[in-house]
Amino acid sequence: MPYAAGHRAKVKREIIDSARRLFNRHGFENVSITQIMAHAGLTHGGFYSYFKGKSDLYAEVLDCFFTNPEWEHCWEGVDVDLSKGNVGEQIVRAYLSRGHFEDVENSCPMVALPTDVSRSDESARRAFQAVFRAMVDVLERSIAKSVPQRGDIAQATAAMCIGGMIVARTVIDRKVADDLRESCLRTGLKLGQWDKKNAGRARTSRKKHSKPYRAASQ
């Protein structure tokens, strides 16, 4: 009996979601294809009809709200609408938010996996670079054209968001982690001169939003 329309796309998404959660929780190198498929409720043999290998899958896992308009993994207490102004401000606030810090399984993979990927093959490293560049490009476009060295500011801000979250998750003292995130947030907003504006910011609260946020196409 033939599969229903959309079955293949659905199974592929299940494999990607399984890999994202396991990679984020355990690391790229510590998760096997068998584990990914079992977590998705699928058999090992079916993997290769969708992906050439784990590195090929990693490129699909590297999704976040600034690269994929269909990204649906919201972080608790974060409300983002990238169809409005101050996109850079919203990205910085969301990336360094408490919700992102606490939601490890739905984390941006650039935070969870850089050390593993640096030891991986070229395709995985190229995928990481492409998503990092996408983040930098979105930030740069959000900086006023009158600001000098917009590219340098965007690149430094992206690196600080990723690096700041990595260190915050690594330290054992929660207050140290929270202070670090807040310091990176203030500095990032200042670098992009988004601290002088109030419109279009990502709002944080303790309430769980029922609808996932979605990026508008850039």
Give me the domains of the chain, ranges plus CATH numbers.
7-61 (1.10.10.60), 78-204 (1.10.357.10)
Predicted TM-score (pTM) of the model is: 0.74
Q: What is the pLDDT of residue 215?
A: 33
Angle between helices 174-191 and 150-170 (to 10 degrees): 170
Most confident residue range from 17-26, 123-132, 184-193: 184-193
Q: Give the pLDDT band (50/70/90) at residue 128.
A: confident
Q: Mean pLDDT over residues 145-159, rounded?
A: 95
Residue burial 74-91, b: 16+ Cβ < 10 Å; e: rest: bbbbbbbbbeeebbbbbb
Mean pLDDT of 210-218: 33
Residue 83 has pLDDT above 60, yes or no: yes
- Rounded to whole angstroms, the Cα distance separating 82 from 215 reads 5
Please report the pLDDT score of residue 37 as a whole number.
95
User: Which pLDDT belongs to residue 74?
Assistant: 62
Please determine, for residue 204, whether its predicted confidence score (pLDDT) is greater than 60. Answer: no
Q: What type of residue sits at position 163?
A: G
Q: What's the pLDDT score for residue 171?
A: 95
* pLDDT bucket at 211, cuts 50 / 70 / 90: very low
Higher pLDDT, 78 or 153: 153
Distance linking the first and last C-alpha atoms of the chain: 41
Give me the count of residues in the chain: 218
